[in-house]
Structure 1
Amino acid sequence: MTPFHLAFPVRNLEETRAFYRDVLGCAIGRSSDTWVDFDLFGHQMSAHLRPETASAANDGKVGDKLVPIPHFGAVLLMDDWQALANRLEAHDGIDWLERPMIRFAGEPGEQATLFIRDPSGNALEFKGFRSLEQVFAH
């Protein structure tokens, strides 16, 4: 699988840098006065300074839960997902939208999931699967 690239707006580069580096554990790539690249589990995420851009999320229904739309994140193997979930639960000040849980239990595509917001209000979802073959199972 090849990495994807996503550019997203943020209100403050320094708080964004601290969150993605110190909370999520992302390595920092290239940067300037108006953007910074992060390595989010092998994917290139580019935070662009847009202090005037408000994050406007709407909810969409997945199963019996409402989730913020838009959102982004990463699909992880279960051990990596659990390590991230433990790291986030141990960190003070996480803006939880949905605490770690199992969705579609016992069904094809069973997954662990959690939702948080970054300091700019961007919604992130991290999914965990026991096998990557389950990602598109139905």
Structure 2
Amino acid sequence: MSQVTPFHIAIPVYNLAECRTFYRETLNCEEGRSSDHWVDFNLFGHQLVIHYKPKGETGDLHSNPVDGQNVPVPHYGVVLPWETFQPFAEELRTKGVKFVIEPYIRFEGQVGEQATMFFLDPAGNALEFKAFRDMGQLFAK
């Protein structure tokens, strides 16, 4: 497998200060550059930028049925190392994060076995963090 190239994602938030605190303190993201309208974060080695957008201009959250769960759409997140997933989930619990989908294992014992969880940031953006028992199965069918 080749070296992973960091991605860049920019998301809208209507409450820059509250989301800045959430990403920095709840998710432990290192803060990078910022202005009065946006903030860069290191999200597990990837660049996440939160951009101020007035409330009401963001779309409603939708969900699709996947594996018996209502998966929020749109969503974004990071694939974590297997050994990082559970401690991260427990840390989120201790910080009072309310899960849209509680941490659980999908495809247990099958190709593509993965841990996954979903929760919302203070602006209502859906986040998914997952981990594969075998990272070589990230795109397995």
TM range (shorter): over 0.9
The answer for the alignment partner of 1:112 in structure 2 is 115
Superposed displacement of residue 124, structure 1: 0.2
Q: Deviations over 1:63-105 (max 9, x none)?
A: 221200100000011111112101111112x131011101111
Q: Moved runs in structure 1, 4+ residues, more than 4 A? A: none
* Structure 1 residue 91 corresponds to structure 2 residue 95: yes
The answer for the alignment partner of 1:127 in structure 2 is 130
**C-alpha distance in structure 2 between counterparts of 1:37 and 1:102, whole Å:** 31
**C-alpha distance in structure 2 between counterparts of 1:18 and 1:99, whole Å:** 23
Q: TM-score under structure 2 normalisation?
A: 0.92
The answer for the alignment partner of 1:38 in structure 2 is 41
Superposed displacement of residue 14, structure 1: 1.0
**C-alpha distance in structure 2 between counterparts of 1:69 and 1:20, whole Å:** 20
Preserved contact between residue 95 and residue 118 of structure 1 (Cα < 8 Å): no
1:55–1:119 CA distance, 2 compared to 1 (3 A): farther
Aligned length: 137
**C-alpha distance in structure 1 between counterparts of 2:51 and 2:107, whole Å:** 35
Percent identity over the alignment is: 50
The answer for the alignment partner of 1:24 in structure 2 is 27
The answer for the alignment partner of 2:12 in structure 1 is 9
The answer for the alignment partner of 1:72 in structure 2 is 76
Superposed displacement of residue 61, structure 1: 2.0
Q: TM-score under structure 1 normalisation?
A: 0.94
1:55–1:83 CA distance, 2 compared to 1 (3 A): farther
**C-alpha distance in structure 2 between counterparts of 1:9 and 1:103, whole Å:** 30
Superposed displacement of residue 55, structure 1: 4.1
Q: RMSD in angstroms over aligned alpha carbons?
A: 1.1
Preserved contact between residue 55 and residue 121 of structure 1 (Cα < 8 Å): no
Preserved contact between residue 113 and residue 134 of structure 2 (Cα < 8 Å): no
Unaligned runs of 5+ in 1: none
Q: Deviations over 1:15-73 (max 9, x none)?
A: 11110010001000100000001110011011000123234121112222120010000
